[in-house]
Amino acid sequence: MHRDTAAKPFELLQKIPSLEAPVRTVQTAHDLAVSGSYGMVRWVNRAVGGTLDVSMGLLEKRKPRA
């Protein structure tokens, strides 16, 4: 969604002949940065979720049964 929103100004700027190549380069860098950032957020969320699953499992094993 972020890339789609950002694509609109890039499209407009690419219509200016002298800016077409530099804008394409900047858009590529932007898209890579966005993909990397969102990928890192997903990775951290999975890591935190896995850590919490293990931690909760260990805590449940230690709970005294009533």
The phi, psi pair for 31, rounded to 5°, reads -65, -40
CB count within 10 Å of CB 24 equals 13
* pTM exceeds cut of 0.95: no
pLDDT in tens, 5-40: 999 999 999 999 999 999 999 999 999 999 999 999
Mean pLDDT in residue range 46-52: 95
Q: Report the alpha-carbon distance of residue 36 to residue 50 in Å, rounded.
A: 21
pLDDT of residue 60: 86
Q: Report the alpha-carbon distance of residue 16 to residue 58 in Å, rounded.
A: 61
Please answer whether residues 63 and 57 qualify as being in contact, where contact means their C-beta atoms are separated by less than 8 angstroms.
Answer: no
User: How confident is residue 66, by pLDDT bands cut at 50, 70 and 90?
Assistant: low
